[in-house]
Copies of this chain bind each other. A is one copy, B any other.
Amino acid sequence: MSVLVVGSAALDSVKTPTGEVTDALGGSAFYFAAAASYFSPVKIVAVVGEDFPMGKIDFLKERNVDLKGLEVAQGKTFRWSGIYHQDMNQRDTLSTELNVFESFSPKLPDEYRQTPYIFLANIHPALQLDVLNQVDNPRFVMLDTMNLWIDTDLEGLKKVMAKLDAIILNDQETRQITGENNLIKAAKEVTKLGPTTVIVKKGEHGAFIVSQDDFFALPAFPIENLFDPTGAGDSFAGGMIGCLAKQDNLSADNFRRALVYGTVTASFTVEKFSIDRLREITMDDIESRYQKMQDMTKF
């Protein structure tokens, strides 16, 4: 089954304690697509400016990523620049130039409307809702968001949430949406707002799934050489939905496996800048870490 992602397309400039990169391929749509395309065909809806170096995404076409929905608008591409400090869990944004992303209004090509698996990456809740109005009866919709929208448009966010199958949040967002400090309780409360499955990401501490009929907790894949955490969340979502769509199976057991595939796919992303690592690894590499996850968690 194919997967549709609607999100950002960006050129990122990132500094970490071990290096830096300028105008590298970034944005949730590309991270997601690079990850999900190991598992399933992907369709992208995003916007870039006229300055966007199209050659950088040629490799996505070879991976069954449909770029018909990638709009080229007048103006410059969205640029983000940030710095990670020694502990890598904290980052500071140095600059954000929204450029063409500021007036992004996702328009789905007609042939995208029947895509069964949908990922609404982190954009304004009103745009996420607008996307849902353009698709016909999707089998599965998952959403990502951020503290900015929880702060500024919780009502709008709750309107989209009512229409979701799943939501992916970090620990802070889960607490912020519900006002509940206990993370397990908070995640359970989120399931009452619409999404029957809630995925909580805890970075180096792993992730867990709460749904009406399951609870599954998974440690992180152990990374000794964390290089650049940018895009970890979107490639996590990509590996996860890619796996669900590949099997076209939304059982609790398959959600568990999908969470593991999301975890290991993201574990590669953070080993190099941009999506460089997701260009070079093979499905065998992913399967090998999946096996390692199984070995390191069983008792």
Contacts and interface: CB of A to CB of B under 8 A. Distances in A.
Nearest to A222: B184
Interface residues of A, number: 34
A184 to B, nearest CB: 5
Contacts of A88: 181
Nearest to A225: B182
Nearest to A183: B204
Interface in A242-286: 253, 256-257, 259-260
A216 B292 CA distance: 10
Most buried by B among A208, A217, A223, A225: A217
Interface string A83-120: 00011100000000000000000000000000000000
Interface in A137-187: 181-185
A216 B184 CA distance: 23
Nearest to A220: B217
Contacts of A204: 183
Nearest to A89: B181
Interface string A196-226: 0000001011101000000111111011111
B215 A222 contact: yes
Given A217-B297, A297-B216, A87 B181 contact: yes
B256 A299 contact: yes
A197 to B, nearest CB: 15
A120 to B, nearest CB: 26
A299 B88 CA distance: 29
Contact of A205 (B86, B205, B224): B205
Contacts of A296: 215-217
Contact of A294 (B87, B206, B225, B299): B299
Contact of A226 (B86, B182, B219): B182
A86 B182 CA distance: 10
Nearest to A206: B219
Nearest to A203: B205
A41 to B, nearest CB: 25
Nearest to A294: B299
Nearest to A219: B217
Given A202-B205, A205-B206, A206-B206, A216 B299 contact: yes
Interface of A: 86-88, 181-185, 202, 204-206, 208, 215-220, 222-226, 253, 256-257, 259-260, 294, 296-299
Given A216-B297, A253-B299, 5 more contacts: A88-B181, A185-B224, A217-B220, A260-B299, A298-B298
